[in-house]
Amino acid sequence: MALLHTVNKSPFERNVLSDCLRLAKDGSAVLLIEDGVYAALEGTSASDEIISRNGSIKFFALGPDIEARGLSEKPLIDGLTLVDYAGFVDLVEEYSSVQSWL
């Protein structure tokens, strides 16, 4: 069974997303929360980290954290899915376990 990884740190300030992706297997999912949602932006110096695994890993971002940071109108990486808190719970239920990368 596959893992759900959560990442809550900005990719511009910490290496947490890279660390997560190094150890995340194909078929797993990554949910960006809190400052982790900055990694969802298209056209940044960090965008390629997600784009290079897009398709083999499912990427999600928490909508309320996107809205809080003023990113609703900015282009997000293609194929990335926004979820609300209920969607977060559904993901936790769907995957075998949660790995929180702090």
63 binds other proteins (CB under 8 A): yes
Q: Cα separation of 46 and 66, whole Å?
A: 16
> From residue 28, how far is each of 44, 51, 64, 68, 81 by CA, in Å?
24, 15, 23, 27, 14
81 binds other proteins (CB under 8 A): no
Q: List, in order, residues 6 or more apart from 92 with CB less than 8 Å away.
A: 4, 98
Q: How far is the CB of 70 from other proteins (least distance, A)?
A: 4
How many Cβ atoms sit within 10 Å of the Cβ of residue 87?
15
Instruction: Please work out the total of residues on this chain that contact other proteins, with binding judged by CB under 8 A.
Output: 27
40 binds other proteins (CB under 8 A): no
Q: How far is the CB of 67 from other proteins (least distance, A)?
A: 4
Q: How far is the CB of 94 from other proteins (least distance, A)?
A: 22
Give the footprint of other proteins on this chain (CB under 8 A).
Answer: 8-10, 12-13, 34-35, 38, 41-47, 63-65, 67-75
